[in-house]
Amino acid sequence: MGKSALLDHTRRTAAGMRAVRASGSQYEKELPFAALHQFCLPILSYLAYLPLQHREVLRNAFGLVTDVPDVFRVGVAVLELLSRAAHEQALLCLIDDAHWLDTASAKVLAFLARRLACEPVAMVFAVRPGHARRELDELPGLSVGGLSDADARTLLAARSHATLDDRVRQRLMAEARGNPLALLELPAAGGFAPPDTSSVPTWIDRGYQARLDGLPAGARLLLTVASTDPTGDPGLRQPKLPRYSPEVILVISRLADLLGWSVDPKVTGPYSLGKCSQKSPRPAM
C-alpha cells in the first residue's frame, strides 16, 4: 500500500544523510548477490580503503573472480564498506521490493541490519503484504494498511484533473479498496471502459498476473467471470459458474484476503485484476 512512496518520503525527510537505494527484482532473484551488487554500487569507491581480505571477498561476490564467496564473510566485508562510507556522511539504506531479493542478498542485508546499532547507518526494507522474507522476520516492522475513505477522497481530489461525479468517486474507492496506487492509476488508465493496452500500467498488472498464474483453472475462471461483471452482483454469475471443490474455494478466499477483494454480498476488487484475468496466457479451462 504505497510502500515505494513511503521510501521516497523517508529519503526526502532524512536531512543530512546520503541515500543508498536498491530494489529486489523477480528477474534477478535467482542470481546470487544481484541485489547486493546494486546496493553497493554507489559506495564502491570506498572499496580501496578496505583491508585486502575484504576487497577480495567482495570481488568474489560480484563475480570478478571465480571463487565461491561465503555469505558471512561477504556480510562482514559489506559492513566494513558501509562503515567507511558512513564515516564521511551518515547513510540511509532503502531496500524496496525486498520480497524479490535473491536469497544471498537477503541474508547479507539482514545480517547488516542486525549489526548497525553502532554505525551512523539506517536501513529500511519495504515488503509486499503477504510476501514476508524469512531472513527479515527478526527485524522490527510496521504494517501499512490502506487509506481511509476520507484520505482516499482527499487523494482523488488532489490528483484528479476534473471534478468527479460522486458515484464515480465511490466506485473508484470501492475498486481501489484503499490502495493509493490504484486510486491514482485507474482514472489515468481510462476509467472503467476497456482502455487501450498502452495506457494500462503494465508493471502493476504483472504483479497481479504473477499471483493469478499460480491459481487452479477453476479459480481463474471464477475471477475472469467476476471481473467482467461491472455490477458486482454474484447472483448474475451463478448460472455461468460450475460447482467448485473445497480446494478452489479455499484458494479464492485466500486470494480475496491477499488482494483486498470483497466477495459477499458483492464482488469488488483491485482494478487491474480484471484486465489480468482476461488476458492471462493460460486458458481458463
Q: Residue count of the chain, please give it.
A: 285
Strand stretches in the chain, DSSP E: 18-23, 91-96, 121-125
The model's pLDDT over 151-182, given as tens digits with 9 standing for 90+, comes to 888 888 887 766 777 888 888 888 777 888 77
The cell numbers describing 12, all together, are 526526502
Chain centroid, CA 242 distance in Å: 34
pLDDT at 258: 54
Sign for the pseudo-dihedral over CA of 97, 216, 193, 164:
negative
The predicted pLDDT at position 177 comes to: 78
pLDDT digits (tens, 9 = 90+) for 77-96: 999 999 999 999 999 999 99
C-beta separation of 213 from 273 below 8 A: no
DSSP conformational letter for 260: T
Q: How far apart are CA 109 and CA 32, in angstroms?
A: 13
Residue 39 burial (CB count, 10 A):
25
Q: In whole angstroms, what is the distance from residue 123 CA to residue 217 CA?
A: 41
What pLDDT is recorded for position 97? Answer: 92
Is residue 222 within 8 Å of residue 139, measured between CB atoms? no
Alpha-carbon span 113 to 79, nearest angstrom: 9
Which residues of the chain are modeled with pLDDT < 70? 1, 64-68, 161-162, 187-211, 214, 225-285
Each residue of 106-120: pLDDT tens digit? Answer: 999 999 999 998 899
Per-residue pLDDT, 12:
93
Query: Count H helices, E strands: the chain?
Result: 12, 3
What DSSP state is assigned to residue 242? Answer: -
The pLDDT value recorded for residue 235 is: 52
Q: Which residues contact residue 42 at a Cβ distance below 8 angstroms, ignoring those fewer than 6 apart?
A: 20
pTM for the model stands at 0.64
What pLDDT sits at residue 236? 47
Taking the domains of the chain in order of start, what are their residue ranges? 3-136, 147-199, 201-285
